Amino acid sequence: MKKLLPICIAVVLCVFGTRVMAQMSYGGEPQSFKHTLSQNIPTVEIEALDVESLLAEDASIEGKSHPLRIGVTKDVMYTNYNSGRIDLLPDGSKIWRLMFHMEGATFTSMNFSTFEIPNGAELFLYTPDRETVIGKFTNANLMEDGTFYPQEMPGDEIIVEYYEPANAAFAGKLVIDQISQGYYDFFHIYEKDVEGGLGNAEGTCHPNAICYDAQWHDQIQSVVCYTMTSGGYVYMCSGAMVNNTARDGKQYLLSANHCYEAGNWKFYFNYQATTCNGTNGSTIKTATGYTLKAKDNGDSSSDFMLVEITGTINPNFNVFLAGWNNTTTAPTNPTQCGAIHHPGGDIKKFSVPQNINNGSLGGYPKFWLANWATATGATEQGSSGSPLFNKDKLIVGQLYAGSSSCTNPTGWDLYGKLSNSWTNNNSSDAKKLKPWLDPNNTGATSLQGEYLNTVGINNYTQVVDALNVHPNPNSGIMTISGAFTDGEGVCKVYDMMGNLVMNRNITLAPEFTLNLNQLTPGMYMLEINGNDRTSRAKIIISK
């Protein structure tokens, strides 16, 4: 959760753990959908949770260093030998099915402690109405520790289906040793008609991120919601995928230290509405597994955490690795900045700061202080770890704590400064960002983002200063400002596949007009070379 703290300012205004795992489904549909089989599937009945007591417990720990708790786990022992039903098909292959009914659960999930299946075998999970189907999963999904765990599924019923071909090299073995029952409406199952369509976000002031897509599309594509199953519970937080100066496609996620729970992690990409008034988003774009790289708490540092996602991220997710700025300069023009997050585990939201101040002025030297306006969002529990972007659309911090809400938007939120997390005045690589985000020690103070699918394609010089383009989107005529002096430079434009579509000499100045109206509408990467440096920015041309 966002750690809640009362904040008064006098201005004008975890032990390291590693999980190396992977998840990628291979499409198709369950074999039972293709055959006429009995729907009399043995069902495991799991009693309902005492939701009121759980919510009361959550309320009692509000303000402590915990991520948002959303579910409860239970140890079980169900296998394809001691439970379910087996149907033999005419060709000698077989289908094993088992249903779980977790009374009143908002979502369900499970862990396979044993996942030994032969080539050609398939695992699917789906809801009885077949509206949600995930899979197929094969022996390629086996994790390094011999386990496997799929993503959370909406609702309180889930069917597990295992298909094994007749010519299988050996008989598969599946052991389900843990199930999870959700009590927090993470998937917005039971509250579809609430005012504002906000699921379990407490407030109704958070605009959908898609409302800002024209200006912030790339950055929106970097923000992730993730869950952690640990110590008998399921938790969630927010974070952002980030680029590094080696531009080697490392799948780094920046979030908050107080979110950290060692256990099974699942990452949800593009969990967002597709329209400005939308109330639901896709929850099937996932990856699993992580390795912890660095973290430190909010007492001795800026409450940051960096993990590397070890599971395969499907290229179709179109994940953006956000850029960053590690300077100590306070963000300017706050209403041109942005915060992207998942309040209450809800679909992705966008909040516009009204003020951003240097926490050093109020006794919080390792943090930026931000507040909001009533109509343009705030933050909530579940927003923890989410990024704060400056006007150049570069990450400058991650959410630690605060008192803001939709009913108190002027309450101040604390974002741990990337500049503090960078070296953290610490000799240990496990307590600072620099070794991971600048592995070649280039000394870069900022870095532009790029898409994971095309990372490394454009051989641009390391970015030192961000490029400011306005307006953006534009008709092809735009004003450029940056750390340039009068002189000659080179303008290069790349399409989103990394192809160079324009290369010409230009005259530079600290601020100048650039005419690219011969380009067709679309999204491009603009690169300006001058003053022995290169600066880049995404531009959108709309005519």
The neighbour count for residue 327, using CB atoms within 10 Å, is 15
3-class DSSP assignment, residue 211: helix
Residue type, 134: I
For residue 498, give the nearest of 468, 527, 464, 541 by alpha carbon: 527
3-class DSSP assignment, residue 363: coil
- 3-state DSSP: the chain helix, strand, coil percent, rounded to 5? 10, 40, 50
For residue 210, give the nearest of 199, 200, 201, 223 by alpha carbon: 223
Question: How far does CA 130 lie from the centroid of its chain?
Answer: 26
Q: Is 384 a catalytic site residue?
A: yes
Please classify residue 367 by burial: count the beta carbons closer than 10 Å to its beta carbon, then call 0-12 exposed, 13-18 middle and 19+ buried.
Answer: buried
Q: Is 222 a catalytic site residue?
A: no
**Residue tagged active-site, from 185, 296, 303, 413:** 303
**Residue tagged active-site, from 188, 206, 258, 342:** 258
**Residue tagged active-site, from 384, 403, 419, 421:** 384
CA–CA separation, 217 and 449 (whole Å): 12
Complete DSSP assignment for 72-125: EEEEEEEETTTSSEEEE-TTS-EEEEEEEEETT-SEEEEEEEEEE--TT-EEEE
CB-based contact 334:356 (threshold 8 Å):
yes
3-class DSSP assignment, residue 214: helix
What is the DSSP-derived secondary structure letter of residue 345? G
For residue 286, give the nearest of 400, 137, 139, 421 by alpha carbon: 137
CA–CA separation, 337 and 113 (whole Å): 45
The neighbour count for residue 427, using CB atoms within 10 Å, is 8
Q: Is 351 a catalytic site residue?
A: no
The neighbour count for residue 98, using CB atoms within 10 Å, is 21
CA–CA separation, 212 and 206 (whole Å): 12
Distance (Å) of CA 96 to CA 84, 88, 175, 309, 504? 7, 9, 13, 32, 63
Catalytic residues: 258, 303, 384
